[in-house]
Amino acid sequence: MLQNWAAEQQQRIGRIRVPSPTRRARTAMKLEDRLERFASRVLDRGLDTLCYAREPEHEHPDRVAYVPSPWFVLPRALRYIGVSDGDVFVDFGCGKGRVVHQAAKRPFRRVVGVEISPVLAEAARSALAARRHQHRCRDVEIVVADVTAFRVPDDLTVGYFYRPFTGETFEAVLRGIVDSIDRSPRRVRLIYLRPTDQERSQIVATGRFRLLKELRPLEAAAAIFESR
């Protein structure tokens, strides 16, 4: 009887139609994809941040393979929250430095990228050196470190994540950010590209951040959180 019931449920599920994207949504997605490819060809020239990479020597159940953020995500998020020359930006898991480069073009007081892989970190340093003439921020640094051992700066005001790690590693970084705020009370915003429901919950569960804004480009939704 149980097997028959299960088979009936599967048939019911199979008959349920999942709504497909509207024609307008499909058109927008295609346009967005074309714009991103064009941006990658033009803006990535000389940076070499486009290629995906995984460093086997740094395999860890909480670590995720390097994938660059789309070019349009950070500028849109920073336009929303605003940037001043008193802000300090940290990219947790910066990979080859695309986001660090974008942040350095804004008037941040300091920009830091944290990366566990020396290979990716060196690629980031080379890319940033080649584009230094484009940077408004003159204090740009790539730190090679495991983020669980990285002391979050007490002047951090904007943190960026594109799912560089999960699980206990992410929990440890959130604790580090909260500890930093306790040491030096201030407003901190976190930009998280394509967060899962679990990652949203982990940030809010600290009791120290609230969801400020959901930015929803079709293929690159980003969430902005603000400290309470």
Q: Which domain holds residue 117?
A: 72-227
* Rounded mean pLDDT, 19-24: 58
Decide the pairing of beta strands 88-92 and 158-161. parallel
CATH code at position 142 = 3.40.50.150
Q: Which residues does residue 112 pair with via DSSP β-bridges, in sequence order?
A: 90, 141
Find the distance separating the first CA and the last CA of the chain, reported in whole Å.
54
Please list, in sequence order, all residues whose beta carbon lies within 8 angstroms of the beta carbon of residue 63, skipping any fewer than 6 positions away. 116, 164, 165, 169
The answer as to whether 32 is a domain residue is: no
- 103-139 tens-digit pLDDT: 999 999 999 999 999 999 999 999 999 999 999 999 9
Q: Is 66 among the domain residues?
A: no
Strand-strand pairing, 189-193 and 222-227: antiparallel
CA atoms within 13 A on the CB side of 158: 29
Mean predicted confidence (pLDDT) in 24-42 = 57
Provide the pLDDT for residue 221.
Answer: 87
Report yes or no: 62 and 174 within 8 Å, Cβ to Cβ.
no
In a domain, 144, yes or no: yes
Classify residue 41: in a domain, yes or no.
Answer: no
Query: How far apart, in Å, are the Cα atoms of 134 and each of 75, 102, 138, 200, 210?
Result: 15, 10, 10, 34, 34
What does pTM read for this prediction? 0.79
- 8 Å CB contact between 81 and 189: yes
Lowest mean pLDDT among 36-50, 90-104, 186-200: 36-50
Q: Would you say residue 23 lies in a domain?
A: no
Which pLDDT score is estimated for 30?
A: 60
Question: Which pLDDT tens digit goes with each residue over 60-119?
Answer: 666 667 788 998 999 999 999 999 999 999 999 999 999 999 999 999 999 999 999 999
- Please, are residues 144 and 121 in contact by the beta-carbon 8 Å criterion? yes
Confirm whether 40 is domain-assigned.
no
- Cβ atoms of 190 and 159 within 8 Å: the answer is yes
H/E element, 180: helix 167-183
Is residue 16 one of the residues assigned to a domain? no
Q: Which two tokens stand for residue 201?
A: 């919950």
Q: How many domains does the chain have?
A: 1
The percentage of residues in the chain with a pLDDT greater than 90, rounded to a whole number, is: 64
| Residue 162: DSSP 8-state | S
Query: Does 65 fall in a domain?
Result: no
CA angle at 76 for the pair 128 and 138, rounded to the nearest 5°: 30
Whole-number average pLDDT of the chain = 83
